[in-house]
């Protein structure tokens, strides 16, 4: 069932994903990394996506920007500013990717080309997408490096990636993603590989830049603390599906899915007393090759009822903007 966002007379959302299904042909059979996903992102909104390894959160991102591995296949619809991205020709998607949609990945070292100077890599973006000449592209790149607080950007821009520290490289990545002032910025675990103090800098920077440029952000992370600080809405994924989605305060105050609840309780927190045993979710994340016919979380769920084994729970709206996929919600 397609999810119809709020009221019909609202302006179209920036990004609208409907019944998205991403599958991969493998020797062991068909693997569904993303399964029947529907959501939307409004202009200026930050959507946080939480999930463990294998939850499909990274494949979701790669699906949106059409960067799936060659054995991957997309079904469903991804509409960006009203334009359908699924099935779009490479030439057309290239005009959107890196231009209207910016991306930041987890590991800045593998995303930057180690053989090219920062200047070369940044100007390329502007020359390709906006047809600027080298001199003005470089001027613009330096301004962007200044915006992400790289000291001495004017001279630093002629350096190579290895001459920057991890946090600096991530800043360069962010600057590069923002060069064309995209409407949507997708950040896939941008602070996971960084130290905590640097992570705090990067998160603060992203908040600041969003206020300045007004773009929407999809923030993928497994860190619930980062989610709490940055997102407006949160989507929790498990086994390739949405198990819960809600505005951030609602999700943290009133988590309904047993997985969300377990996740929130299993994080060691600085603000609570130590040495009490952590709550833990038993078992392991599911194997996408052998997903059960029913709810993917059933093996680890302590509240399971017989129907969980048999049928996939439906994603239902339990209060405005709060959606949960759990059979317990359907009980009278």
Partner 1 sequence: MTKLLRVDDLKIHFRIPGEGLFRPRHKTLRAVDGISFDLDAGETLGIVGESGCGKSTLARGILGLVPVTGGSIWLAGEELAHLSARELRKRRQHMQIVFQDPLASLDPRMTVSEIIAEPLQVFEPNLGKKERKHKVQGIMERVGLLPNQINRYPHEFSGGQCQRIGIARALVLKPKLLICDEPVSALDVSIQAQIINLLMDIQEDMQLSMLFIAHDLSVVKQISHRVMVMYLGKMVEATTRDDLYRDPRHPYTRALIDAIPIPDPAIERNKKFEPLQGDLPSPLDPPSGCSFRTRCPMAADSCAAEAPAQREVSEGHWVSCHFA
Token pair for 127: 């020359």
Q: Which of 266, 289, 303, 319 binds partner 1 (CB under 8 A)?
A: 266
Identify the DSSP state of 96. H
Q: Which of 72, 240, 262, 313 binds partner 1 (CB under 8 A)?
A: 262
Q: Which is nearer to partner 1, 193 or 325 (CB)?
A: 193
Q: Which 60-119 residues touch partner 1, going by CB under 8 A?
A: none
Specify the stretch interacting with partner 1 by CB under 8 A; choose among 113-121, 139-147, 244-252, 322-330.
244-252
Binding flag, residue 227, partner 1 (CB under 8 A): yes
> Are 186 and 147 in contact, with CB atoms under 8 Å apart?
no
Q: Which 158-217 residues touch partner 1, going by CB under 8 A?
A: 165-168, 195-201, 203-204
> Are 187 and 104 in contact, with CB atoms under 8 Å apart?
yes
**Minimal distance, residue 243 CB to partner 1, in Å:** 13
Q: Which is nearer to partner 1, 118 or 226 (CB)?
A: 226
> Are 138 and 119 in contact, with CB atoms under 8 Å apart?
yes
Q: Which of 277, 302, 331, 332 binds partner 1 (CB under 8 A)?
A: 277
Q: Which of 87, 214, 225, 320 binds partner 1 (CB under 8 A)?
A: 225
Q: Which is nearer to partner 1, 65 or 234 (CB)?
A: 234
The DSSP line for 79-95 is: EETTEE-TT--HHHHHH
Q: Which is nearer to partner 1, 165 or 181 (CB)?
A: 165
Specify the stretch interacting with partner 1 by CB under 8 A; choose among 9-17, 90-98, 262-270, 310-318.
262-270
**Minimal distance, residue 110 CB to partner 1, in Å:** 17
Instruction: Please state the φ and ψ torsions of residue 13, each to the nearest 5 degrees.
Output: -70, 160
What pairing do the DSSP bridges indicate for beta strands 101-104 and 184-188? parallel
Distances (CA, A) of 82 to 38, 79, 114, 169: 15, 5, 37, 33
> Are 323 and 242 in contact, with CB atoms under 8 Å apart?
yes
- Residue 119 CB neighbour total at 10 angstroms: 18
CA-to-CA distance for 134 and 282, rounded, in angstroms? 56
Closest to 171 (Cα-Cα) out of 144, 210, 197: 144
Q: Which is nearer to partner 1, 155 or 275 (CB)?
A: 275
> Are 294 and 311 in contact, with CB atoms under 8 Å apart?
yes
Q: Which is nearer to partner 1, 167 or 240 (CB)?
A: 167
The structure tokens 């390894």 sit at 53
**Minimal distance, residue 239 CB to partner 1, in Å:** 13
Token pair for 134: 């080298």
Specify the stretch interacting with partner 1 by CB under 8 A; choose among 93-101, 120-128, 280-288, 313-321.
280-288
**Minimal distance, residue 253 CB to partner 1, in Å:** 8
Q: Number of residues in contact with partner 1, rule: CB under 8 A?
A: 46
> Are 215 and 177 in contact, with CB atoms under 8 Å apart?
no
**Minimal distance, residue 199 CB to partner 1, in Å:** 7
Binding site for partner 1 (CB under 8 A): 52-53, 165-168, 195-201, 203-204, 222-229, 248-249, 252, 262-264, 266-271, 274-275, 277-282, 284-285, 300
């Amino acid at each position: 069932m397609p999810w119809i966002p709020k009221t019909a007379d609202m302006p179209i959302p920036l990004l609208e994903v409907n019944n998205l299904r991403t599958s991969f042909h493998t020797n062991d059979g068909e693997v569904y990394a993303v399964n029947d996903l529907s959501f939307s992102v409004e202009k200026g909104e930050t959507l946080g996506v939480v999930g463990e390894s294998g939850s499909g959160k990274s494949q979701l991102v790669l699906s949106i920007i059409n960067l799936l591995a060659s054995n991957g296949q997309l079904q469903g619809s991804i509409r960006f500013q009203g334009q359908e991205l699924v099935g779009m020709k490479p030439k057309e998607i290239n005009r959107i990717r890196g231009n209207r949609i910016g991306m930041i990945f987890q590991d800045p070292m593998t995303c930057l080309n180690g053989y090219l100077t920062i200047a070369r890599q940044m100007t390329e973006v502007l020359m390709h997408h906006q047809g600027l000449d080298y001199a003005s592209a470089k001027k613009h790149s330096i301004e962007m490096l200044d915006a992400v607080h790289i000291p001495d950007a004017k001279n630093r821009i002629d350096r190579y990636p290895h001459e920057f520290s991890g946090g600096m490289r991530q800043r360069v990545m962010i600057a590069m993603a923002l060069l064309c002032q995209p409407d949507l910025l997708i950040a896939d675990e941008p602070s996971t590989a960084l130290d905590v103090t640097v992570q705090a800098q990067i998160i603060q920077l992203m908040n600041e830049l969003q206020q300045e440029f007004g773009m929407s952000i999809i923030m993928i992370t497994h860190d619930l603390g980062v989610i709490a600080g940055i997102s407006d809405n949160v989507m929790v994924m498990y086994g390739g599906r949405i198990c819960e989605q809600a505005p951030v305060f609602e999700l943290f105050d009133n988590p309904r899915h047993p997985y969300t609840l377990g996740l929130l309780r299993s994080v060691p927190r600085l603000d609570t007393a130590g040495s009490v045993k952590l709550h833990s979710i038993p078992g392991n994340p599911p194997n996408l090759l052998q997903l059960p016919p029913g709810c993917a979380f059933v093996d680890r769920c302590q509240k399971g009822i017989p129907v969980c084994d048999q049928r996939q729970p439906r994603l239902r709206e339990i209060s405005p903007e709060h959606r949960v996929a759990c059979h317990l919600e359907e009980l009278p």
